[in-house]
Amino acid sequence: MSLVKLAVTHIAPVFIVTSPVTSYADQIWSMNKARSSAGFSLDVPLIMLVASILKVFFWFGDRYDFPLLIQASIMIFVQLLLLRVALLYRPPFGAQHSLNKPFQGADQTDSGIPRPYNFWQWRPQKPYWQFVAYYTVVLAILQLLIGSNTAYIALQGYVALSVEAILPIPQILENERLRSSKGFRLSVLINWLVGDAFKMTYFFLSEGSVPWAFKLCGLFQAACDCYLGVQYLKYGDGDPATLEMDEKNPRLA
pLDDT value, residue 78: 95
Read off the pLDDT of residues 194-214 as tens digits, 9 standing for 90 and up.
888 888 888 888 777 788 888
pLDDT value, residue 113: 55
Per residue, the 3-state secondary structure of 198-244, as one string, reads HHHHHHHHCCCCCCHHHHHHHHHHHHHHHHHHHHHHHHCCCCHHHHH
pLDDT value, residue 241: 55
d(CA 169, CA 44): 11
| Overall pTM surpassing 0.85 (yes/no) | no
pLDDT value, residue 107: 44
CA 31 to chain centre: 17
d(CA 184, CA 191): 12
User: By C-alpha distance, which of 50, 70, 199, 188 is closest to 131?
Assistant: 50
Decide: helix, strand or coil at residue 248.
coil
Give the up-direction half-sphere exposure of residue 210: CA atoms within 13 A in the CB hemisphere: 20
pLDDT value, residue 37: 81
User: By C-alpha distance, which of 218, 216, 237, 238 is closest to 226?
Assistant: 218
pLDDT value, residue 110: 42
4 class by beta-carbon count within 10 Å (0-12 exposed, 13-18 middle, 19+ buried)? exposed
Q: How far is CA 192 from CA 165, 168, 196, 211, 226, in A?
A: 12, 10, 6, 21, 9
Per residue, the 3-state secondary structure of 43-110, as one string, reads HHHHHHHHHHHHHHHHHHHCCCCHHHHHHHHHHHHHHHHHHHHHHHCCCCCCCCCCCCCCCCCCCCCC
pLDDT value, residue 240: 60
Please give the backbone phi and psi of residue 49, each rounded to the nearest 5 degrees, phi first. Answer: -70, -45
d(CA 126, CA 107): 18
Average of per-residue pLDDT values in the chain? 81
Are the C-beta atoms of 73 and 80 separated by less than 8 Å? no
pLDDT value, residue 172: 87
> Which residues of the chain are under the pLDDT cut of 50?
96-111, 243, 246-253
